[in-house]
Amino acid sequence: MSRTRSSRWALAAALLGGLSPAPLAAQDFYAGRTIDFVIGADVGGGYDVYARAIARRLPRYIAGAPTVVVKNMPGAGSAVAAAQLYTIAPKDGSTIGALMPGAILDRVLSDGGKANYDPSKFIYLASADSGTRVCLTYQNAKAKTFAEALAQPVIMGASAAGAATRDYPLMVAKATGAKFNVVAGYKGSSDILLAMERGEVNGMCGLDWNSLRSTKPDWLRDGKINLILQTALEPHPDLARMGVPEIWPFIKNETDRKAVQLVVSQQVFLRSYIAPPGVPADRVATLRAAFASTLADQEFLADAQKMKIDVNPLPGEKVQAVVDMLYATPKDVVARAKELIAP
């Protein structure tokens, strides 16, 4: 992250109260307490890496110095963790979560039949990054470019519905004509990467670029993978320099373009952190300020640079506004987006 952006975020943190004392009631509440930090992803993936890095610094910015305990709760693209936070977790500020954006967007695209949580009612504390997702194939795959994937079958490993690694290859295939054969059922991105290495699948789609850089830098260094496509509202400069094409030129239908934009818009809040609905306002203010200060902390940013993870934060209020906008999307666009990510 640039020095200018870091300075702007530090100023924003100060304006949001990150450098001022927490309300007295919140100080009293957090003194000597434990905060459960539920990560809706498996150990070792990008969401886990980000959340654990934040958890190490977060307590210093919460008056009362609570202990933050990380708990992984993978399953259904973070929907398992989301449901637990919504229905079971205490609504007092002692439990927070890290959710994949698909768990938030999924309810926009569903008919409500599985509505055991309502993402629009979560309290959004921050997002650590907005990002770009990539489609990639392993070094021995026949399709080494997206143009080749348009002409010959590619077996893409995937996890559960609602996870980007399942939704994105389906969306890309339907919107562009890519010949992706999606094999779902893997536990998470790390398992799919292992499956690529074992030759079970040719590649994957929907992996966050920052996660790939932080978890598999040797694969990038040694040319073990082919980056065949990037998906984001704006191109990533590093990927553009590498010649990785964007999805947009390959989409010929305007309705499909709008639907893909809806799905891709979740990447604006790529690393979102939430509290359950009903948390008292003073504790929400304390948690939002703590996240803002943590994401501007110079030691945290130095750690992030070493781990090769990007930090482009958004304050909780901004994330909340983006989620509200998603839930106001026109019905015809939602309907087509649902078709694109359906098996």
Question: Could you tell me the CATH number of the domain that includes residue 199?
Answer: 3.40.190.10
Q: Write out the H or E segment, with its range, that includes residue 220.
A: helix 217-221
The whole-number pLDDT of residue 112 equals 54
pTM to 2 decimal places: 0.70
CA angle 180, 184, 187 (to 5 degrees): 135
Q: How far apart are CA 19 and CA 175, in angstroms?
A: 46
pLDDT (tens digit, 9 = 90+) per residue, 219-267?
999 999 999 999 998 899 999 999 999 999 999 999 999 999 999 988 8
For residue 84, the enclosing domain spans: 3-130+270-341
Same domain, 122 and 172: no
Q: Write out the H or E segment, with its range, that includes residue 207.
A: strand 203-208
Mark which of 211, 242, 265 sits at the end of a domain: 265
Q: How far apart are CA 322 and CA 162, in angstroms?
A: 19
Q: How far apart are CA 242 and CA 227, in angstroms?
A: 9
Q: How far apart are CA 273 and CA 290, in angstroms?
A: 12
Q: How far apart are CA 274 and CA 85, in angstroms?
A: 9
The mean of the pLDDT values for the chain is 90
pLDDT (tens digit, 9 = 90+) per residue, 96-114?
999 998 899 888 887 654 5
Mark which of 265, 297, 330 sits at the end of a domain: 265
pLDDT (tens digit, 9 = 90+) per residue, 143-162?
999 999 999 999 999 998 77
Alpha carbon 171 to its chain's center: 17
Number of domain units in the chain: 2
Same domain, 203 and 285: no
Same domain, 21 and 50: yes
Same domain, 151 and 208: yes
Q: For the chain, how many residues are written?
A: 343
Tell me the average pLDDT across 310-314: 90
The whole-number pLDDT of residue 277 equals 97
Same domain, 118 and 137: no
Mark which of 265, 293, 311 sits at the end of a domain: 265
The residues, any chain, with a CB within 8 Å of residue 141's CB and separated by 6 or more, are: 154, 202, 203, 226
